[in-house]
Amino acid sequence: MTQDNLSPDQDRFYAALMAAHEGLSDDESRALNARLVLMMANQIGDVPLLEALLQQARQMTDAP
């Protein structure tokens, strides 16, 4: 599991994320998520870390 670097502001970020999606269609929301992931990946800039995060996210998605 990754370290929690958002505390104590995780609720603030979640609210901003939800606000960014307000009024968007499903396709627009998916496009926003894709752009956001790429922008954050660019900020992180560490491909091995990004690959590990992708694997972790996929494992969480595949979990029952």
| Residue 4 falls inside a structural domain | no
Q: Where does 1-64 show beta strands of DSSP type E?
A: none
Q: Over the stretch 23-51, which tens digit does the pLDDT of each residue have?
A: 999 999 999 999 999 999 999 999 999 99
Cα 23 from chain centroid? Answer: 19
| pLDDT for residue 10 | 92
Band (pLDDT 50/70/90 cuts) for residue 64 is low
Single-letter amino acid code for the residue at 8: P
* Average pLDDT taken over every residue of the chain: 92
Residue 2 has pLDDT above 60, yes or no: yes
For the chain, the domain total comes to 1
Full residue range of the structural domain in which residue 31 is found: 10-62
Band (pLDDT 50/70/90 cuts) for residue 62 is confident
Give, in order, the Cα–Cα distances in Å from 27 to each of 14, 33, 36, 60.
Answer: 20, 10, 14, 23
| Residue 2 falls inside a structural domain | no
| pLDDT for residue 5 | 86
Tokens of 63: 């979990």
- CA 37/CA 35 separation, integer angstroms: 6
